[in-house]
């Protein structure tokens, strides 16, 4: 339900139209003011253009990345972390003791290593950010979780869900284990924080065929 009496399909069409308006505005602005924008934006645009993508496609890619980054994961992570700690009395006491016995002049992650572990595990569990990447090489067919095939065209944008991709790295991935990632480090696991579909010059080498799409 959309809440305004309109059908879901009409709401989706309006959202697509609004998104196209946003891309158009950003395209015109960046063409005239790219040199005046923040360095992080200029760097993103330069990287995408260097891959041989047209200007409009570069704007779409950068805009979606920045819109995702602007959704601010900090607040939901903090709220969830507090909830997880509240429901784990042993962890609450551990955090309290670490803070009570630590040197207050050092950074928080050094005063309470467990607080850092809680932040990492909470981020792994609750952050739903998408990684936006363009399909550069060719049209391809991708398997879906329903056993069908999804036609992805050259030039399309693919949104990779880092949280779902990382689920295969851990047992009981939906369970909160506050020091899970630290235990993995001690066990010698590598690339724990790896996010696939990274940017840069190797972006064209990504292979989507191993993933299932929903």
Average pLDDT for 21-32: 84
Biggest CA-to-CA distance, the chain: 59
Q: Is the pLDDT of residue 185 over 90?
A: no
* Residue that wins the pLDDT comparison between 101 and 203: 101
Of 84, 164, 158, 80, nearest to 126 (Cα)?
Answer: 80
Cβ-contact 143, 213 below 8 angstroms: yes
- Res 191: pLDDT: 59
From 6-10, 63-67, 84-88, the region with the lowest mean pLDDT: 6-10
**pTM value > 0.85:** no
C-alpha to C-alpha distance for 121 and 178, rounded to whole angstroms: 6
C-alpha to C-alpha distance for 134 and 102, rounded to whole angstroms: 47
Question: What's the pLDDT band for 13 if we cut at 50, 70, 90?
Answer: confident
C-alpha to C-alpha distance for 87 and 68, rounded to whole angstroms: 30
- Res 131: pLDDT: 67
From 32-36, 107-111, 164-168, the region with the lowest mean pLDDT: 164-168
State which of 32-36, 42-46, 64-68 shows the largest mean pLDDT.
32-36
Q: Is the pLDDT of residue 8 over 70?
A: no
- Helix axis angle for 55-69 and 8-33, nearest 10°, is 110
Average pLDDT for 187-194: 66
- Res 177: pLDDT: 92
Give the phi and the psi of residue 144 in degrees, each rounded to 5: -110, 165
Question: What's the pLDDT band for 50 if we cut at 50, 70, 90?
Answer: confident
- For residue range 106-152, what is the model confidence (pLDDT) as tens digits? 877 688 889 989 988 888 887 766 666 777 778 888 777 677 888 88
Q: In whole angstroms, what separates CA 1 from the centre of its chain?
A: 27
Question: What's the pLDDT band for 193 if we cut at 50, 70, 90?
Answer: low
**Residue 201: count of CB within 10 angstroms of its CB:** 9
* Residue that wins the pLDDT comparison between 1 and 182: 182
3-class secondary structure for 25-48? HHHHHHHHHHHHCCHHHHHHHHHH
Kind plus residue range of the DSSP H or E element containing 50? helix 39-50
């Amino acid at each position: 339900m959309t809440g305004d009496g309109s059908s879901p399909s009409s709401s989706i069409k309006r959202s697509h139209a609004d998104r196209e308006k946003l891309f158009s505005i950003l395209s015109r602005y960046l063409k005239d003011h790219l040199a005046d924008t923040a360095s992080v934006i200029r760097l993103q645009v330069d990287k995408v253009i260097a891959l041989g993508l047209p200007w409009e496609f570069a704007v779409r890619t950068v805009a979606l990345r920045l819109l995702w980054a602007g959704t601010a994961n900090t607040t939901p992570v903090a709220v969830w972390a507090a909830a997880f700690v509240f429901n784990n009395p042993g962890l609450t006491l551990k955090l309290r003791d670490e803070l009570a016995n630590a040197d207050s002049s050092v950074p928080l992650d050094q005063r309470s290593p467990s607080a850092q572990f809680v932040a990492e595990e909470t981020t792994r569990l609750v952050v739903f950010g998408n990684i936006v990447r363009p399909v550069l090489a060719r049209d391809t067919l991708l398997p879906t979780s329903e056993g069908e095939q999804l036609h992805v065209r050259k030039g399309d944008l693919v949104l990779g869900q880092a949280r779902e991709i990382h689920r295969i790295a851990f047992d009981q991935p939906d369970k909160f284990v506050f020091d899970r990632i630290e235990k993995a480090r001690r066990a010698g696991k590598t690339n724990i924080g790896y996010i696939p579909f990274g940017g840069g010059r190797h972006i064209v080498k990504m292979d989507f065929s191993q993933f299932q799409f929903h």
